[in-house]
């Protein structure tokens, strides 16, 4: 477990002001360094658990805007908690009956997840749990702790 030491540039006479600044810095770190690390972990699982196990023959993967687009992995910070979602929409150019967000859930959970379905039968209808594996890696490694520590150091805290 890391220990946090306040930087020497700020002197606080009020504990409330100290806590407010600390919470703000933690939330900024969650929105920046920690979210970036979660994106990196998820992108690795997209490559390994989705793209690495199946090569499409009926359709072509998108060059931009697919589940491997980091812009589709978004985070929201509230009350010092980071929530991350993959908001990739179904490809309208593909001619699917599915619309809007939900592609990541369909790929992660397989056919019939959340009411979504594949338009053609095939091996790609099986679950490829890249989201589940991302969550597992986040929970079981120290990568997020390291990103939080790095972010706080970037904001002037001495974390040991």
pLDDT tens figures, 44-77: 999 999 999 888 877 788 888 999 999 999 999 9
pLDDT at 7 over 60: no
Domain span holding position 49: 11-159
What tens digit of pLDDT does each residue of 98-147 get? 888 999 999 999 877 677 888 777 767 888 999 999 999 999 999 999 99
Of 101, 117, 33, the C-alpha closest to 67 is: 101
Residue 61 covered by a domain: yes
State residue 152's pLDDT score.
Answer: 95
What pLDDT digit, counting tens, does each position of 26-37 carry?
Answer: 999 999 999 999
The answer to whether residue 19 is domain-embedded is yes
Cα angle 53, 54, 58 (rounded to 5 degrees) comes to 175
Instruction: Extract the tokens encoding 63.
Output: 């060059």
Q: Around Cβ 143, how many Cβ atoms within 10 Å?
A: 15
Is 6 domain-assigned? no
């Amino acid at each position: 477990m890391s220990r946090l030491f306040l930087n020497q540039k700020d002197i606080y006479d009020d504990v409330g002001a100290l806590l407010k600044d600390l919470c703000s810095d933690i939330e900024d770190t969650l929105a920046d360094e920690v979210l970036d690390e979660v994106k990196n972990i998820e992108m690795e699982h997209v490559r390994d658990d989705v793209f690495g196990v199946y090569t499409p023959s009926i359709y072509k993967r998108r060059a931009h805007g697919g589940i491997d687009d980091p812009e589709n992995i978004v985070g929201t910070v509230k009350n010092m908690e980071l929530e991350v979602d993959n908001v990739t929409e179904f490809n309208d150019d593909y001619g699917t009956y599915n619309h809007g967000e939900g592609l990541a859930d369909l790929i992660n959970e397989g056919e019939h997840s959340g009411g979504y379905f594949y338009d053609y039968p095939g091996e790609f209808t099986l679950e490829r749990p890249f989201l589940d594996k991302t969550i597992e890696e986040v929970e079981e490694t120290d990568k997020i702790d390291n990103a939080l520590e790095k972010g706080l150091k970037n904001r002037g805290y001495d974390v040991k």
